Amino acid sequence: MAQNGSWSSSSGGSSSSSAAQSRGLATANGPQEERLVVVVRVRPSDESSDHCIDVISDKSLLFDDGGKSRPRQYSYDHVFKESDTQERVYKKTTAPLVKDVLNGLNAAVFAYGATGSGKTHTMLGPCRKKGTSTATERAATAAYDVDANNNESGLMVRAIEEIFQNIDNTSNNGSKVSISYLEIYNELIRDLLNPGGPLELREDNRGQRITVAGLSEITTTSRQEVVSLLLRGNKARTMEPTAANQTSSRSHALLSITVQTKTPLGTKQGRLFLTDLAGSERAKKTKNRGKRLQEGAHINRSLLALGNCINALSGGARYVNYRDSKLTRLLKEALSGKCKTVMIAHVAPEAKHRDETKNTLVYADRANSISTRLQNSVYIDEVKNFPTKHYQNLVTELREEVTRLRSKMLTERPRSGAAAAAAAQPTRSTEEDEKRKTELRYLREQIVLTFKQQMKLRRKLLEAESHLLGLELDAERQHMIISHWQGRMGKLYDSPADDDIESEGAIALKNAWGELSAIEKETRRYKEIRERTEQELEMCRQKGVQLEDELPERITSDEERELLALLCRVHELEADKVSLQAERLARQAELRRRDLQLLRAERQRRLCEDIISSQRRLIEEGNVELPDELRELYGLYQQEIHAGVVTPSTSYERKLPPIYTAGSESPGSSSSSEWSPGSPLPPIDSQILSAFQDGPDRHMGPLVNPRLPKLSATTTPSTRRGTSIRMAKHAPNNT
pLDDT digits (tens, 9 = 90+) for 606-661: 778 778 888 878 888 888 887 888 778 777 777 766 664 444 444 434 344 444 43
Give the three-state DSSP class for 671. coil
| CA dist., res. 343 & res. 97, Å (int) | 12
Rounded to whole angstroms, how far apart are CA atoms 254 and 567? 59
Residues in CB range of 183: below 8 A, 6 or more apart: 189, 190, 192, 237, 238, 251, 252, 253, 254
- CA gap 528, 524 in Å, rounded: 6
Q: CB of 189 within 8 A of CB of 212?
A: yes
Q: What's domain 13-381's superfamily in CATH?
A: Kinesin motor domain (3.40.850.10)
Asked if residue 273 lies in contact with residue 183, where contact means CB atoms within 8 angstroms, the answer is no
CA distance 708 to 434: 93
In whole angstroms, how far apart are CA 235 and each of 79, 291, 523? 31, 20, 45
pLDDT at 100 over 80: yes
Binding site listing:
113-120
The amino acid occupying position 245 is: N
In the predicted model, is pLDDT for residue 306 greater than 70? yes
Task: Check residue 650 and give its pLDDT.
Answer: 40
Q: Which residues are annotated as a binding site for ATP?
A: 113-120
Q: How many CB atoms lie within 10 A of CB 63?
A: 20
Q: Report residue 116: phi and psi, to 5°.
A: 80, 10
Query: Does residue 58 register a pLDDT over 80?
Result: yes
Torsion angle of the four alpha carbons 54, 55, 60, 64, in this order, in degrees rounded to the nearest 10 = 10
pLDDT at 43 over 80: yes
In sequence order, what E strands does 265-393 have?
Answer: 266-276, 340-347, 371-373, 378-379
Question: Could you report the per-residue pLDDT of 673-731, keeping only the tens digit for each?
Answer: 333 433 333 443 344 334 333 433 333 333 333 333 333 333 333 343 343 333 333 44
Higher-scoring residue by pLDDT: 581, 499: 581
pTM: 0.52
Band (492; pLDDT cuts 50, 70, 90)? very low
* C-alpha to C-alpha distance for 465 and 589, rounded to whole angstroms: 10
CA 705 and chain centroid, separation: 48
Could you tell me the pLDDT band of residue 170, with boundaries at 50, 70 and 90?
A: confident
What's residue 561's pLDDT?
64
Residue 691: CB atoms within 10 A of its CB come to 20
Q: What is the mean pLDDT of residues 356-372?
A: 87
Tell which residue, 333, 342, 263, has the closest CA to residue 96: 342
Instruction: Tell which wins on pLDDT, 249 or 134.
Output: 249
CB distance 468 to 527 below 8 Å: yes
Give residue 210's Cα distance to chain centre. Answer: 6
Give pLDDT, residue 410: 55
Residue 689 CB contacts under 8 Å (≥ 6 apart), including other chains? none
Give the whole-number percent of the chain exceeding pLDDT 90: 15
pLDDT at 720: 37
In this predicted structure, what is the pLDDT of residue 497? Answer: 47
Q: Of 568, 622, 635, 578, give the one whose Cα is nearest residue 454.
A: 578
For residues 364-388, give the mean pLDDT. Answer: 64
Q: Label residue 494 exposed, middle or buried (CB < 10 Å: 0-12, 13-18, 19+).
A: exposed
pLDDT band of residue 155 (cuts 50, 70, 90) is very high
What is the residue extent of each domain of the chain?
Answer: 13-381, 386-602, 623-730
Q: 288: part of which helix (H) or strand (E)? A: none
As a whole number, mean pLDDT of residues 72-94 equals 94
**What local confidence, expressed as pLDDT, does residue 85 receive?**
92
CB 564 within 8 A of CB 440: no
Letter for the amino acid at 309? C
**Strand, helix or coil for residue 493:** coil
Q: For residue 388, what are the CA distances in angstroms to 104, 588, 613? A: 21, 11, 42
Residue 389 pLDDT level (bands cut at 50, 70, 90):
low
- Long-range (24+ apart) CB contacts under 8 A made by 62-66 are 63/357, 63/358, 63/361, 64/351, 64/354, 65/354, 65/358, 66/351, 66/354
